[in-house]
Amino acid sequence: MRRAFGVVAALALAACAPRLTPLTGAPAPAALPRAVLPPGSRQVVFEWQLEDPDFTGKGDGVARVTAPDSARLDFFIAGGMASGAAILIGDSLAAPGPDVIKRLVPPPPLLWASLGRLAVPPLPDTIVRVDGPTLRADIGNPVAWRATFRGDTLERLEHVRRGRVSEWLARVDATHVRYRNEESRRQLDLTVRRSEPIPDFDASIWRLP
């Protein structure tokens, strides 16, 4: 009985996710802009705020990023209640520590999107349409991802399940990023305070205790 209730609840939450709207604009060749990390290493200092049905919190953080595919994010909860880190190398994500830290970390493709990198699983059938400076691509058949570019910049990435947008990440502007999971009603906002290139990081940062 309890398992059946859990399945029904999960389906109900999934049904709350918005349906994927049809692509608009003129058809275009199925070639996407190169959305990759800038060469070298960079350190990004940010503030975060999480809204979750079970937890609301805020704090500071720092992301250490090295091209082509390595990133470490450290989160600090305001008031010194807890801290934790996540390491993302390619499509492999490790986030040990308090449960709240796991809630702060989107899945790898969406986490990469927050840094401007498109890294979705390889899928057949990409449909691209262009509307002025905006390019949108539906990836997969059925559609599993929708990527939105403005010029060469990745602006938004949506994860699609059963024709509904289950979660998404938007780079609102140069300093604001928003992640939302529509099924769990969880939302994370990041505000970049400083971003600067630095020499290569010590190899020890890529290991967690």
Q: What letter would DSSP give residue 203?
A: G
* pLDDT at residue 12, as a whole number: 46
CA distances in angstroms from 33 to 27, 70, 176, listed in the order given: 15, 20, 21
Two tokens, residue 29: 């060749």
- The type of residue at 186 is R
What is the model's pLDDT at position 11?
45
Has residue 8 been placed in a domain?
Answer: no
Nearest to 137 by CA among 11, 23, 43, 53: 23
Residue 76 lies in a domain: yes
Number of domains in the chain: 1
Residue 9 placed within a domain: no
Predicted local distance difference test score (pLDDT) of residue 188: 96
Query: What is the maximum span of the chain, computed from C-alpha positions, in angstroms?
Result: 57
- At 123, which CATH number? 2.50.20
* pLDDT given for residue 103 in this prediction: 83
Name the nearest CA neighbour of 86 among 107, 67, 66, 56: 107
> Does this model's pTM top 0.75?
yes
Residue 5: φ, ψ to 5°: -65, -40
Mean pLDDT split into 10-residue runs, the chain, 209 residues: 41 71 93 94 97 91 97 88 89 84 90 96 93 96 97 96 98 96 96 95 89
For residue 3, tell me if it sits in a domain.
no
pLDDT for the residue numbered 36: 96
**Using the 8-state DSSP alphabet, how is residue 22 labeled?**
P
* Pick from 123, 128, 118: nearest CA to 140: 123
Report the pLDDT value the prediction gives residue 172, as an integer from 0 to 100.
93
Query: Has residue 165 been placed in a domain?
Result: yes
3-state secondary structure of 117: coil
What confidence score (pLDDT) does residue 15 get? 57
Look at residue 30 in the predicted model and tell me its pLDDT.
85
Is 194 a domain residue?
yes
Range of the domain at 80: 23-206
Question: Are 172 and 178 contacting, i.e. CB atoms less than 8 angstroms apart?
Answer: yes
Q: Assess if residue 73 is contained within a domain.
A: yes
Q: Is residue 66 part of a domain?
A: yes
Cα torsion 162, 167, 172, 176 to 10°: value is -170
